Amino acid sequence: MAIRVRPLTDEERRTIENLAHSRTAPVRQVERAKMIWLAAQDVRVPAIAHQVGVHEQTVRDWIKRFNAQGLAGLQDRPRPGKPPAYTADEHSEVIATALSNPLALEQPFASWTLDRLQVYLNEHKGIGIKRSRIGELLLAEGLRWRTQETWFSQKAQLDTSTAKPDRPLDPDFAEKRGPSKPSTRPRLRIV
């Protein structure tokens, strides 16, 4: 038995025709409106499916749903699943904090690590977020993250013109670093 769309009211006919020919409406709604529009013009389900590029059962399902619910039936229903763990405001707070200077937030260090960022967000902002999730958010924003702090060389410590103003200079840097060692062993020459 062939499925048919119920008779359309004038308002439904105008809305569906406009939506079926729209270039700015969401693609799913345009596709569904085309199915109903073609069905209202007595086009058969296999031809509608071929023209729209969907399976025949999909066309039948949307016609049944439209017949039962009208225009509201063409809208997306809420989908099941776990709600997002963090709000958009919390996401933006994580990014803003990561891009801020820790010294400006009265922290005793000059650069963030993921662990420091997690502790700060948990204690000061009240955002219970894991270290791994912070890393995912930063990567999604296109930010590269350091795994450890960088050290200034002795020359940079002595030459204050090249040191960055947001990082304090350590006068005992050379002593703390210890004596320099070559990174590669000398090659033994055979004579």
CB-CB contact of 113 with 122 (8 Å): no
- pLDDT for 149 equals 47
* Residue 124 covered by a domain: yes
Clarify whether residues 93 and 43 are in a common domain.
Answer: no
The yes-or-no verdict on residue 156 having pLDDT over 50 is no
Clarify whether residues 15 and 65 are in a common domain.
Answer: yes
Total number of domains in the chain: 2
* Residue 79 covered by a domain: no
In this predicted model, what pLDDT tens digit does every residue of 89-108 receive, in sequence order? 999 999 999 989 999 999 98
The proportion of the chain whose per-residue pLDDT surpasses 90, expressed as a percent, equals 43
pTM over 0.75: no
Contacts of 10 (CB under 8 A, 6+ apart): none
* Residue 44 covered by a domain: yes
The proportion of the chain whose per-residue pLDDT surpasses 70, expressed as a percent, equals 80
Residue-number span of the structural domain to which 120 is assigned: 88-140
* Residue 160 covered by a domain: no
- pLDDT for 177 equals 66
Nearest to 105 by CA among 91, 120, 119: 120
Which pLDDT band holds residue 53 (cuts at 50, 70, 90)? very high
Which pLDDT band holds residue 162 (cuts at 50, 70, 90)? very low
